[in-house]
Amino acid sequence: MAKIAFFGLGNMGGPMAVNLLAAGHQLSVYDPFVKSLDKFTNDRVAVDKDKITVAETPASAVEDAEYIVSMLPTGKHVVDLYVGNEQTPGIIQHINKSALIIDSSTIDVDSVKSVHAYAQQHGIEMLDAPVSGGVSAAQAGTLTFMCGASQENFERAKTVLSGMGKNVFLAGDTGAGQIAKMCNNMLLAVHMAGTAESLKLGINNGLDPAVLSQIMLQSSGSNWSLEKYNPAPGVMANAPASHDFKPGFTVELMLKDLGLALQNSVSTKSSVPMGALARNLYASYGSQDDANAKLDFSSIWKMF
């Protein structure tokens, strides 16, 4: 079993860390946001107190760590953590040369490449391993990991990733995991918006959205948003739609991902008309009311 430093105990990182404990690993955790840290420690310290250290500083979290896992909001958070900024130095200098960094945050490829290059200058290996599946899959330990790494680092990372996910893929070299994730989430935004609009059209014609969902699930309109994350309130008891759109995966995080896809489409001269439409829809919805940005992304339902 491995000694793991874990950074970012939010909606995703919290349950992922819990699964690493359940897999028998020893964890040193750090999160500057008291609410995230408290939720994790309240849930786990009593149960797993011999396996958890709550670190006072990022540097102390990585002492003796064989693996470092980060699950942070944006590329800036990841660069600040490892490389540092004008106010705070990064943690690379404190990491053992034999340790492996696994960043599972969804971030831009340039940030991945800059942290990877900086880590290599210090003799440390790193891979990008963003995830798909959302909070429920993080809780169930059934996430899909998409890795950008050498074959050797990919094999090393599997020891840890298999404790948090069901599917672990090697997409290609450094940054390739983020590209796979970006393509996936652009498609997710498109089918979530399309699912909401179709269900609303049915309701406006007097259909019950639960019945319409059952029909479409057995028909050619079937998709993940309809099956696992239905945006119509009341259709699926544990979907965010049935809990006032409490996240889950926030509108602002989806907007971040769509922004990454559109930026990349410019640099690769790719045509992404559906992704652009989905981004504009989410941007318009997110700016209608500040509160919308903090709701689950399935709340795009309210636009229709």
Residues known to be catalytic: 181
- β-partners of residue 58 are none
Nearest CB to ligand NAD, comparing residues 12 and 199: 12
The pairing of strands 143-148 and 131-132 is antiparallel
Question: What residue type is assigned to position 37 of the chain?
Answer: L
The pairing of strands 3-7 and 26-30 is parallel
Nearest CB to ligand NAD, comparing residues 107 and 212: 107
Both tokens assigned to 262: 């559109």
In a 10 Å sphere around its CB, with 0-12 CB exposed, 13-18 middle and 19+ buried, how is residue 91 labelled?
A: buried
**Length, in residues, of the chain:** 304
Number of residues in contact with ligand NAD under rule CB under 6 A: 26
84 within 8 A of 141, measured Cβ to Cβ: no
Q: Residues 46-85 vs ligand NAD: string with x where CB under 6 A?
A: ------------x------------xxx---x---x----
Nearest CB to ligand NAD, comparing residues 32 and 123: 32
Q: Which of 9, 65, 160, 188 binds ligand NAD (CB under 6 A)?
A: 9
Shortest distance (Å) from residue 198 CB to ligand NAD: 22
* Interatomic CA distance for residues 156 and 170, integer angstroms: 12
Nearest CB to ligand NAD, comparing residues 174 and 185: 185
Integer-rounded Cα radius of gyration of the chain: 20
Q: Which stretch binds ligand NAD (CB under 6 A): 26-34, 147-155, 189-197, 220-228?
A: 26-34
* Interatomic CA distance for residues 261 and 184, integer angstroms: 10
Q: Which of 17, 20, 112, 131 binds ligand NAD (CB under 6 A)?
A: 131
**What residues line the site for ligand NAD (CB under 6 A)?**
7-13, 30-33, 36, 58, 71-73, 77, 81, 105-106, 131, 134-135, 248-249, 253
